[in-house]
Structure 1
């Protein structure tokens, strides 16, 4: 591994491609969660009578890298935020930004998802008010089959990303002296100095080792305490992003390799699908693991390279999208579930209904965010936005001197 030859990004320089990637990655999350209602054979809070098996193929292709990209981009953001900040400053700022929306979301936004699932499963009686009182009291536990997380009495559902991200941020913040030491800087330079095939292959090795050791024993559950496999993958990608954050050389190399990495990613996922479709017996787990993690990193590398090439400019929509990401993320899945309860009784069919569900979800996110959340001061931090303070009034300029009046002489 060669030393990094890229100069760090100058302080104050805005990485527009990272801002755009963050917004687009969360848009994929919204579309993926709509797809979860319609994909056959995959458990979710509610399931459509129009569930389709063919959806499994694009959903698998998206699922393998979607949250990994989100965590890597979050690590890049931390790399920029941590410059000039100490451990406690990072923990304080990230804690408010992540944990406050988590607590508010679990108490106010998520309960309707649990209620709708509980009613659909036959374990919750209709009547959201009565459900909410019992849910918030966290008294007697619900039947385990009532809704996801019912055994704990309260759930974070899709908001699991927030505690995971805070934990990874806290771990890096608590070990800042290590990452800023000579050994930590050497490790960062070694990763950012990868070029050519090494950049497309070597980052896969830790992901493959963790997957071979942990995937079968700890399948992903979003149970924070026991989610060892997903923690190992997500934190590794988060750390890659943290290392890459302010280095320019590795981003230029990803841009240079963007077409190669995309072609290789398509070849790997095509091989994966062809083997799954052509073999009657399940694929060997080691081969499955290799193809999945190789495709994961190649696809992430291709997306990063293309984004750096095409999105690193001050798009007019970028500032709005940047401030919309957190509220849309917090709101979207509850709006999907609410949209399902409205549309399902209308029996609109497998084409019109999903199209309307996407439109209703996006419109609801936009109306609530732009019409309410941004405009109400106390709501902003509950959805991860900074509190806006009114601009200080400018002092009035002194009136012009009256005509014919002269200022007194300094000697007077």
Structure 2
């Protein structure tokens, strides 16, 4: 049998990763090259912030792919293939299509207005490319996943469990990622959006995440026991990259470092975050809609604060506060309360049988 219970640490890591994604996107606006990749750019850069951003940049997106694969493993434990595809179409494909036609054009309009460009309606996934990749992975890998489900007591699961019982096995798990980095040879390892590197790296991470859950407790016991080893290796590789390569190390080495950070995060998350809380109940539902709309408020905040004669560090703080506040107010006052909008942002439409069930809905305003 496959595991079907809720893992609070994985939920927390998903929420944290999306939070870091928002901070990272805001930080791009304070780099001297931000406008070149379509962000509103502050005239006075804040380049020092890129040192910590370069540490998290090589694992923040791969971590989400790992977590997405884990989620599918939990899901197929209680669904057949038709139910899985229908549920993922509702939760991933529908928000993806809606987003590229109705959400992305809004922040593109803000960019065009700020830089006095001609206002054009542009259909593009931009930050939602991640959702498109996930849906493709579900379609492509579902036959394999349901085959493994049927063979959940077979030799493949036992073999994976044996490999994951030892940290050496997890080191070996990084080899496909290093091979991908060598074969694709991206111009920059940390650029994943809408390119072959992001697609194949995401596929490997998605499949690996599924295998980590599928194997049982072996993976979690290993990352828990050896979390400090993985952290030491990851930090050493990052400092080596910072001092020797000015943060731009060889792609294969960055792939290895990325996985060391991810194993570290899973280990510490499993130890300290695997417990329920009211905050998690709220944030785990809000994270997805916030991810979808955050670029609108990021660009709006940038257009308001960047022209002001303020210290760039203060602008960075203001833009973060404005983006987070705008996203959560929109989620609270509109998205979560208008049933016709909820499926467009990956939320289920609740069935209220009485007023008591409505009052039980998680909300910061209650």
Structure 1 and Structure 2 fold alike (TM over 0.5): yes
Residue of structure 2 aligned with 1:205, choices 168, 175, 182: 175
Distance 1:299 1:218 in 2: 18
Q: What's the counterpart of residue 44 of structure 1?
A: 37
Residues 1:16 and 2:4 aligned together: no
Q: Are 2:27 and 2:50, in contact at CA under 8 Å, matched by a contact in 1?
A: no
Shift of 1:245: 2.0
Distance 1:189 1:382 in 2: 40
Aligned CA distance change for structure 1 residues 184 and 348 (closer, same or farther; 3 Å): farther
Residue of structure 2 aligned with 1:302, choices 250, 264, 278: 264
Aligned CA distance change for structure 1 residues 188 and 124 (closer, same or farther; 3 Å): farther
Distance 1:88 1:214 in 2: 34
Write out aligned runs for 1:120-139 (5 A). 120-125=114-119, 131=120, 135=121
Superposed CA offset, 1:115-152 (max 9, x none): 23334455415xxxxx4xxx2xxxxxxxxxxxxxxxxx
Superposed CA offset, 1:217-272 (max 9, x none): 8985633xxx2222211111111111122512211211111111111110111111
Q: Are 1:38 and 1:51, in contact at CA under 8 Å, matched by a contact in 2?
A: yes
Write out aligned runs for 1:312-391 (5 A). 312-391=274-353
In the alignment, structure 1 segments of 5+ residues that lack a partner are 1-6, 126-130, 136-152, 395-412
Aligned CA distance change for structure 1 residues 213 and 184 (closer, same or farther; 3 Å): farther
- Number of aligned residue pairs: 351
Shift of 1:161: 1.0
Q: What's the counterpart of residue 142 of structure 2?
A: 173
Distance 1:180 1:261 in 2: 30
Distance 2:193 2:132 in 1: 10
Shift of 1:293: 1.1
Superposed CA offset, 1:73-98 (max 9, x none): 11111110011322221111001111
The two structures, once aligned, show a CA RMSD in angstroms of 2.5
Shift of 1:188: 4.1
Q: What's the counterpart of residue 240 of structure 1?
A: 208
Distance 2:196 2:178 in 1: 14
Shift of 1:53: 2.9
Q: Are 1:75 and 1:238, in contact at CA under 8 Å, matched by a contact in 2?
A: yes
Distance 1:61 1:172 in 2: 30
Of stretches 210-219 and 338-347 in structure 1, the one that deviates more from structure 2 is: 210-219
Distance 2:2 2:81 in 1: 21
Aligned CA distance change for structure 1 residues 209 and 329 (closer, same or farther; 3 Å): same
Q: Are 1:254 and 1:301, in contact at CA under 8 Å, matched by a contact in 2?
A: yes
Q: What's the counterpart of residue 93 of structure 2?
A: 99
TM-score, length of structure 1 as denominator length: 0.79
Q: What's the counterpart of residue 215 of structure 1?
A: 185
Q: Are 2:2 and 2:74, in contact at CA under 8 Å, matched by a contact in 1?
A: no
Answer 1 or 2: which has greater helix percent: 2
Write out aligned runs for 1:215-294 (5 A). 215-216=185-186, 220=191, 222-223=193-194, 227-246=195-214, 247-277=216-246, 288-294=250-256
Shift of 1:273: 1.3
Aligned CA distance change for structure 1 residues 365 and 218 (closer, same or farther; 3 Å): closer
Distance 2:246 2:10 in 1: 36
Distance 1:41 1:102 in 2: 28
Q: Are 1:218 and 1:229, in contact at CA under 8 Å, matched by a contact in 2?
A: no
Shift of 1:360: 0.6
Shift of 1:277: 3.8
Residues 1:195 and 2:165 aligned together: yes
Computing the radius of gyration from Cα coordinates, the structure with the larger value is 1
Superposed CA offset, 1:348-404 (max 9, x none): 22122111110011111111111221111111111110011111699xxxxxxxxxx
Distance 1:191 1:106 in 2: 38
Q: Secondary structure at the match of 1:175?
A: helix
Residues 1:59 and 2:56 aligned together: no
Aligned CA distance change for structure 1 residues 114 and 322 (closer, same or farther; 3 Å): same
Distance 2:16 2:154 in 1: 31
Q: What's the counterpart of residue 69 of structure 1?
A: 63
Q: Secondary structure at the match of 2:33?
A: coil
Q: Are 2:166 and 2:222, in contact at CA under 8 Å, matched by a contact in 1?
A: yes
Distance 2:283 2:264 in 1: 22
TM-score, length of structure 2 as denominator length: 0.88
Write out aligned runs for 1:104-119 (5 A). 104-119=98-113
Q: Are 1:210 and 1:233, in contact at CA under 8 Å, matched by a contact in 2?
A: yes
